[in-house]
């Protein structure tokens, strides 16, 4: 299953809820303000870093760039994808859950 998260983890519990329910074969894609969940050194870094041992986590590059977040600021293990990668993830998974 593909999970998308579009809210800042500092404003909403959607990332935390998503990561607590996502199974090991899941892809989690951070988009829009959800990309703030990819930041290293933040209060939510350990939550995401721990999940990375279980699920795959991606962050959408155009949304990172829009917010001034460079790749070297991200938690190691998070894969950066473009819109084409978003489409590939959507096609590769049988279901999509949008954590709005």
Partner 1 sequence: MSRAKKFMYINRHAPCGTVYAVEGLEVVLIGAAFEQDVCMAFIGDGVFQLQQDQDTADTGMKNFSPAYRALGDYEVNRLYVERESLQERGLTEEDLMPLTWEDEDEDWAEKSSIYIVDQAQLSDLMDEQDIILNF
Q: Can you give the binding site for partner 1, defined by CB under 8 A?
A: 6-8, 10-11, 32-33, 36, 39-43, 45, 61-63, 65-70, 73
How near is the Cβ of 94 to partner 1 at its closest, in Å? 28
Distance of CA 35 to the CA centre of its chain: 6
Q: What is the CA radius of gyration of the chain?
A: 12
Q: Which is nearer to partner 1, 24 or 68 (CB)?
A: 68
CA–CA distance, 72 with 94 (Å, rounded to integer): 32
Q: Which is nearer to partner 1, 26 or 36 (CB)?
A: 36
In angstroms, give the least distance from the CB of 10 to partner 1: 5
Query: How many CB atoms are closer than 10 A to CB 69?
Result: 18
């Amino acid at each position: 299953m593909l999970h998308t998260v579009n809210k800042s983890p500092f404003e909403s519990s959607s990332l935390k809820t998503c990561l607590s329910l996502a199974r090991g074969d899941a892809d989690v894609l951070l988009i829009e303000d959800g990309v703030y969940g990819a930041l290293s050194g933040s209060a939510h870094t350990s939550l995401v870093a721990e999940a990375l041992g279980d699920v795959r986590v991606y962050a959408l590059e155009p949304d990172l760039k829009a917010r001034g977040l460079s790749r070297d600021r991200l938690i190691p293990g998070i894969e950066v994808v473009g819109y084409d990668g978003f489409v590939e993830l959507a096609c590769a998974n049988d279901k999509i859950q949008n954590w709005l």
